[in-house]
Amino acid sequence: MSAELTPAEQVRRAGLAVNPPVTQAAFDALEDVWGVELPQELHTLYCDHDGQPEGKGVAMPFRLLSVSEAIAAHEEMTLDVPLLDDLPDLQQGIVVLWGDVGGNFMVYFLRGARRGMVGELHHEIPWSIAPQWRSLENFYAAMIEAAQDKEYCYPTDFPNQGPADTQQLAAFAEAKAALAEAQTAYEYDYWSANLLKLCPVGESPALLPLLTPLVEEGSYASTHVPFATEKLMSELGAAAMPYLREALASNLEQGIF
């Protein structure tokens, strides 16, 4: 499926089942709940169809949620897994609009260098959210390709496997700056995940602080060494050892192992 088509055009051409268009009042309610003004491309998508029905015909691995389902997702993020309270960057920084059958979501980034990108929110590691597609069009092309192949696996296009481009460098710099200012374990782990996933070739030394994560009592986030250990030890070798020793000593002292 060509990413040159709009998401709605891609869905229609693929013959996927869709709900009737959203009303303006319903779309306004969605914006009110999330506390944001959503971009035109999302408004255009919902004006074409208010989500995709579950379990009807060929389906994308992550289907577009109806407005009522997207509002329920906001409630889940504030009550069941209080991400929006724990991670200030997510407040008015993302909107959850797609879901799978396993309770996972895809989010649309609304601000900064990641604006317009799409990434996964996995229910087992909800703080690990980073962009995986450069655009809404590319995300839909990947989802529809997987639907037509009847596969849950889907290709991503961000970040680059080779040299970083301007878009990746900007997102990496944003994550690096935010990590330096992290005040809580939730913020630390969120930006650590972004830094690790967005790290360009040749920038591995910037990941060294990830070997000594901030630990906060009661955090549902990571409380052990792990984010970048394998990557850093393989790429940086001895240069990573002081950080690894510090992390091990800190975790042993707190009785984490």
Residue 132 has which token pair? Answer: 């995986």
153-194 pLDDT per residue, tens: 888 999 877 788 999 999 999 999 998 888 877 787 788 888
Distance CA 170, CA 193 (A): 16
Residue 238 domain-assigned?
A: yes
Domain of residue 106, residue span: 7-148
Amino acid identity of residue 95, one-letter, is V
**Tally of domains in the chain:** 2
The tens digit of pLDDT for each residue in 219-255 reads 444 444 455 555 555 655 665 566 566 656 665 565 5
**Is 132 contained in some domain?**
yes
Percentage of the chain exceeding pLDDT 90: 47
Q: Is residue 159 in a domain?
A: no
Residue 106 predicted with pLDDT over 70: yes
Q: Are residue 103 and residue 194 in the same domain, yes or no?
A: no
Choose the weakest-confidence range: 13-27, 132-146, 152-166.
152-166
The predicted pLDDT at position 117 comes to 97
pLDDT at 134 over 90: yes
Same domain, 117 and 170: no
Domain boundary among 121, 148, 175: 148
More confident: 20 or 56: 20
Q: Which tops the pLDDT comparison, 146 or 189?
A: 146
pTM value is 0.84
Tell me if 65 is assigned to some domain: yes
Give the per-residue pLDDT at 246. Answer: 62
233 part of a folded domain:
yes
